């Protein structure tokens, strides 16, 4: 019997599609609307112990490409195509006490839907590890089904320090009664090393990954950054279609290195074809941000496409006995290999593999040694 349901880190999701920790999950009303729309789970906007004051400028913007000049810009031009999202406000402005009350109400309204609490605390100081524990305890006591330790936003030392990341994971696991996930930074020195630090310290899953470090474009007319506050800008996170290939590459490395571990994939998912790529590499769930933001804030059409796409895919492959995601999860993981294992040209083949194709020079005779 075919089913959309998945069990991931011991949690049963009605479908494997989650809203990522981002603007769509920053309020109670948004999260309730997301569950009304059919999302299997949400990762709430990253929670800190204390209230945060975010930047005075736009919290998120969308970059589009124009077909006439290929310019990437936040300006909405006729005929432009979504390229990416960009944001620099990383965590919720609301503190733990507000979120505890909110999570309780959400779980009362939707007891079978999954709420994952994304948490972050300072990375250094005498109380740092205890702060992580207080966040974990507060969220799970409020009814959160799981915890996502955000190692990718704000706390730079956490995103680049394996020892600190291990210490935080161990501290959270000490008090956790629910599964603990570690969310990685995309600009990691080595994503496999980062994941290993999480797993060795008890993490139940790794999430890959957050938005890629980036800057908005400079307007050629004003010579100002298209997103700025008083003319100033700092690095923000890039998400959406532009990061899909890089995100898949990171997921492939992780799934090859840890074939028996649990991963949740993030980056560039807007319909089932992209989600399928994550599943075939080995991810058990996927998370969506940009596509949901541009679709009525919480992505009702996106989740409809994802669910229909999953149903259609399993129906099309019914002869293979594929009745759930686990039946085809990781099926293409072994195809990702080192460059040295890729077949090389033979002596009688032209140097260019695509003679006459745009972007390739005409074939040249092979020079023999």
> Residue 158 falls within a domain, yes or no?
yes
Half-sphere exposure of 266 (CA within 13 A, CB side): 29
Tell me which residue range forms the domain holding 264: 6-340
pLDDT (0 to 100) of residue 357? 58
pLDDT tens-place values along the chain, 369 residues long: 999 999 999 999 999 999 999 989 999 999 999 999 999 999 999 999 988 888 888 878 999 998 888 889 998 788 889 999 998 877 899 999 999 999 999 999 999 999 999 999 977 766 889 999 999 999 999 999 999 999 986 544 455 677 888 999 999 999 999 999 999 988 767 899 999 999 999 999 999 988 899 999 999 999 999 999 999 999 899 999 999 999 999 999 999 999 999 999 999 999 999 999 999 999 999 999 999 999 999 999 999 999 999 999 999 999 999 999 999 999 999 999 999 999 988 877 766 555 555 666 666 665 655
Tell whether omega for the bond before 209 is within 30 degrees of 0, i.e. cis. Answer: yes
> Residue 15 falls within a domain, yes or no?
yes
Is 149 within 8 Å of 155 (Cβ atoms)? no
Pairing, β 60-65 against β 81-87: antiparallel
> Residue 352 falls within a domain, yes or no?
no
pLDDT (0 to 100) of residue 367? 60
pLDDT (0 to 100) of residue 345? 86
pLDDT (0 to 100) of residue 157? 45
Closest CA to 152 of 119, 117, 192, 180: 119
> Residue 29 falls within a domain, yes or no?
yes
pLDDT (0 to 100) of residue 159? 54
> Residue 100 falls within a domain, yes or no?
yes
pLDDT (0 to 100) of residue 156? 42
Half-sphere exposure of 315 (CA within 13 A, CB side): 6
pLDDT (0 to 100) of residue 257? 97
> Residue 213 falls within a domain, yes or no?
yes
pLDDT (0 to 100) of residue 245? 96
pLDDT (0 to 100) of residue 28? 97
How many domains, in total, are found in the chain?
1
Residue 323 dihedral angles phi and psi, to the nearest 5°: -115, -5
Both tokens assigned to 109: 């309204």
> Residue 331 falls within a domain, yes or no?
yes
User: For 111-142, b where at least 16 C-beta lie within 10 A, e where not — what string?
Assistant: eebbbbbbbbbbbeeeebbebbbbbbbbbbeb
pLDDT (0 to 100) of residue 125? 67
Q: What is the CATH number of the domain that holds 288?
A: 3.20.20.70
> Residue 368 falls within a domain, yes or no?
no
């Amino acid at each position: 019997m075919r089913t959309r349901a998945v069990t991931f880190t011991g949690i049963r999701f009605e479908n494997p599609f989650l809203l990522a920790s981002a603007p769509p999950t920053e309020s109670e009303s948004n999260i309730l609307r997301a569950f009304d729309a059919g999302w299997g789970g949400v990762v709430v906007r990253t929670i800190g112990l204390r209230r945060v004051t975010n930047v005075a400028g736009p919290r998120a913007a969308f970059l589009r490409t124009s077909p006439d000049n290929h310019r990437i810009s936040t300006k909405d031009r006729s005929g432009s195509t979504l390229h990416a999202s960009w944001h620099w406000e990383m965590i919720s402005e609301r503190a733990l006490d507000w979120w505890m009350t909110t999570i309780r109400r959400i779980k009362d309204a939707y007891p079978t839907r999954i709420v994952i609490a994304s948490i972050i605390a300072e990375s250094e100081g005498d109380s740092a590890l205890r702060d992580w524990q207080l966040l974990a305890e507060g969220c799970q006591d409020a009814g959160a089904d799981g915890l996502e330790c955000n190692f990718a936003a704000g706390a730079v030392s956490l995103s680049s320090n394996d020892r600190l990341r291990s210490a935080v994971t161990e501290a959270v696991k000490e008090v956790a009664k629910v599964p603990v996930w570690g969310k990685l930074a995309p600009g990691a020195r080595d994503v496999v090393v980062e994941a290993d630090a999480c797993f060795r310290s008890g993490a139940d899953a790794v999430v890959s990954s957050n938005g890629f470090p980036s800057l908005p474009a400079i307007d050629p007319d004003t010579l100002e950054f298209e997103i700025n506050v008083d003319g100033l800008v700092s690095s923000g996170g890039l998400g959406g279609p532009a990061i899909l290939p890089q995100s898949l590459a990171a997921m492939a490395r992780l799934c090859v290195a840890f074939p028996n571990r649990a991963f949740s994939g993030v980056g560039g998912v807007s319909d089932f074809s992209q989600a399928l790529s994550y599943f075939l590499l080995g991810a058990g769930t996927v998370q969506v941000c940009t596509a949901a933001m541009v679709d009525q804030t919480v992505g009702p059409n996106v989740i409809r496409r994802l669910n229909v796409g999953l149903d259609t895919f399993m129906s099309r492959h019914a002869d293979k006995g594929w009745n759930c995601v686990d039946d085809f999860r990781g099926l293409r993981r072994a195809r990702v290999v080192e460059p040295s294992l890729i077949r090389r040209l033979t002596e009688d083949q032209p140097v260019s593999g695509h003679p006459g194709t745009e972007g390739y020079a005409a074939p040249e005779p092979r020079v023999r040694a």
